[in-house]
Structures are given as structure tokens and as C-alpha cells.
Amino acid sequence: MNTGRIFIVDGRLRPIWRFFLAVVLLFAALVVSGATVGLVYRLLRVRPQPMAALFWGSLVALAAILAAYKLLTAVFERRPLGSVGLAFHDRWWTELGHGLAVGAVMILLVAVLERAGGFLQFSYAPQPLLRAASFSFVVLAVAAINEEAIFRGYPFQRLVESITPIGAIAVTSALFGLLHLGNPHHTWISTTNTMLVGIPLAIAYLRTRSLWMPIGMHFIWNFLMGFLLGLPVSGISFPVSVLQARVHGAAWLTGAEYGPEGGLLATGVIVAATLYLWLSKRIYTSEEMKALVIDPVPSKGPDRPVTILAPASPEESNRA
């Protein structure tokens, strides 16, 4: 038995081992970045506000994550960092905008359903919103990029190559949900929904091979839910919001103190969004991302690059 083939195929480390290596580097990056931010706060003798701590922690963590991915893509993929899905390719603005639209429709539809059912009421109290809006926008944008880079970035992409897209979605979505068990007011429905929402986010990546669409979806869902509507985001309430929300009715339906993500109304919306992202012909992989991500000459054996869910562009479909 050639034990070398367990680790190496066609002169490259197998994707499954690159996945485990990426997880180790990712964990180290998060630990080091968290310790660095904590040390700086202690040296400055500053006790930050929760949102400020989230921002600086996410920003430093993102820098560490991108540094780890830069190393991995250069050494093992022989590709630029943009190949993990963060390249500013010719359709990145379109994909980001599409993600923003899908995410906005999702959360607003949940709110409309709750309001129509008499479970949700809004009130407005004038507040200094401009500064809060800017800060919330930046904090949630960095956090969305951070989480998508972790859960749909390099490790997920190597799992796609080694255990198929369905297997990769199952593993990463389960982890995404389980990591939210530490959030306040969580329930089995909120955990299930958090797992389920990983599916449309992963499909958005797989169909575009870019992280811009899932980043847009992730960001706008949190921003509109927390800052505009005044609803809890995964159990966490914003100190300042445009509207103040009061939720009535069964927690299993509305999510109550956890927020809409903890209710079955959100489950239905997540399923509908998943079907749209799976079937829409407006979502496809740009030529630039194909060149960055998909090998022009597939490697031999079971670890060849996987192209499922990366459909042809409309121009290619018309030529076929």
C-alpha cells in the first residue's frame, strides 16, 4: 500500500488535509487576534462598549484570517488570495447588490408576516441615528465578511473538493448553528434555523464562486433586523435602532427574545430563499472567477476540482 497517496495526489496535498490544516491555522489566527485585542485594551486600561469590542475584534480577526488564507492559497493552490472568493472581479458589485436584495427581502418578509399575524408592533422614538447608523453599518459589514470568510471561505472550499458540495454544506452549516448555542435566549428552533440559513449562503457562493453575494445577504439581514426594525439579532439587541419592536405570540413562531431567526416563520422564508438561489438563472459564475478558481486542466483522480453549482453564464448557455 502506498501510504504517500493518503496525503499526496498528483504532487499536491489532498483537499481533506488542506481543510484540516486550514482549520488549525484559522483557530490559531482567531486566538492570536483575540489575545492581541485583549492585550491592547488592558495596556490602554480601556473597557470598550460591546459594539466597539465586536468591531475591533472582528477587524483584527479578519486581517489574521486573510493572512492565513494568503499563505494557504499561495503554498497549496498557487493562486492569489482572491481565489477564496474575495476578488474584485467584473461582477462583484452585481453579486453584492443581488445578495443585499435577497437578504433584505428575506428579513422584511418575515417582519411583514409577523406584523400581519398581529405578533409584531412598531413604535418610533426620535434618536440621534446618523452616528449609530454609520457605526452599525461598519461593525456589521466587517462581521459579515469575517463570518463568510470563515464558513464559506478556504476550509469550506476544500471540503467541497473532498466530500462533495452537499457534504461540505452539511458540515459547515451544522458548525454555524452549533457555534450560536452560546447566544442568549437560544432554542432548538433558533439553532435549526441558524443551521438552515447556512444552506442558501453556501449555494450563493457555489453558484458564483465568490463571497460577495453571501456577504451581502448576511450583512443586510443583520443590519435591517437590528438597526432598522429594532429586533434582536441572534438574541442580541441593538442599543439604538430606528424602530422599537414589541413581539407578541408564541416564541416558536416569532422567535421572541432571540429574534426572528428563532421562529418558524423565518424557517419558511429561509426555505423559499434556498429554492430561489438554487433555481435562479440570474446567478452564475463570472469568467474571471472561473479562471481564478476552476483549473483549466482538471487533475486526475477523485480530488479533481468540483464545478457543480457553478453554472455557465447566459452567453455560454445561448451558444451551447
Predicted local distance difference test score (pLDDT) of residue 2: 56
Considering its fold, how many domains does the chain have in total?
Answer: 1
Instruction: Confirm whether 7 is domain-assigned.
Output: no
pLDDT string in tens for the chain (320-residue length):
455 678 887 778 999 999 999 999 999 999 999 999 999 988 988 887 777 888 899 999 999 999 999 999 999 999 999 999 999 999 999 999 999 999 999 999 999 999 999 999 998 867 777 778 888 899 999 999 999 999 999 999 999 999 999 999 999 999 999 988 988 999 999 999 999 999 999 999 999 999 999 999 999 999 999 999 999 999 988 888 899 999 988 899 999 999 999 999 999 999 999 999 999 999 999 999 999 987 544 444 444 444 445 555 555 544 44
DSSP result, 236-275: B--SS-SSEEEE-S-HHHH-GGG-GGGSHHHHHHHHHHHH
> If we measure between CA atoms, which residue out of 110, 111, 90, 107 comes closest to residue 99?
107
Angstrom distances, CA of residue 107 to CA of 6, 89, 96, 193, 221: 45, 28, 17, 13, 6
Instruction: Confirm whether 272 is domain-assigned.
Output: yes
Predicted local distance difference test score (pLDDT) of residue 302: 43
> Which residue, chain included where needed, has cell 441572534?
234
Angstrom distances, CA of residue 290 to CA of 35, 212, 244, 306, 319: 38, 15, 45, 12, 18
| Alpha carbons 289 and 85: distance in angstroms, whole number | 8
> If we measure between CA atoms, which residue out of 150, 135, 147, 156 comes closest to residue 18?
156
The three cell numbers of residue 19 are 481543510
Predicted local distance difference test score (pLDDT) of residue 221: 97
Instruction: Confirm whether 138 is domain-assigned.
Output: yes
Predicted local distance difference test score (pLDDT) of residue 307: 46
Amino acid identity of 68?
A
Per DSSP, the three-state class of 233 is strand
Instruction: Confirm whether 59 is domain-assigned.
Output: no
Per DSSP, the three-state class of 279 is helix
Instruction: Confirm whether 2 is domain-assigned.
Output: no
Instruction: Confirm whether 147 is domain-assigned.
Output: yes
Per DSSP, the three-state class of 12 is strand
Predicted local distance difference test score (pLDDT) of residue 3: 55
In the chain, what is the straight-line distance between the N-terminal and C-terminal CA atoms, in Å? 44
Instruction: Confirm whether 35 is domain-assigned.
Output: no
Could you tell me the residue range of the domain that residue 234 belongs to? 90-319
HSE, CB side, 13 Å, CA atoms: give it for residue 236.
Answer: 14
Instruction: Confirm whether 53 is domain-assigned.
Output: no
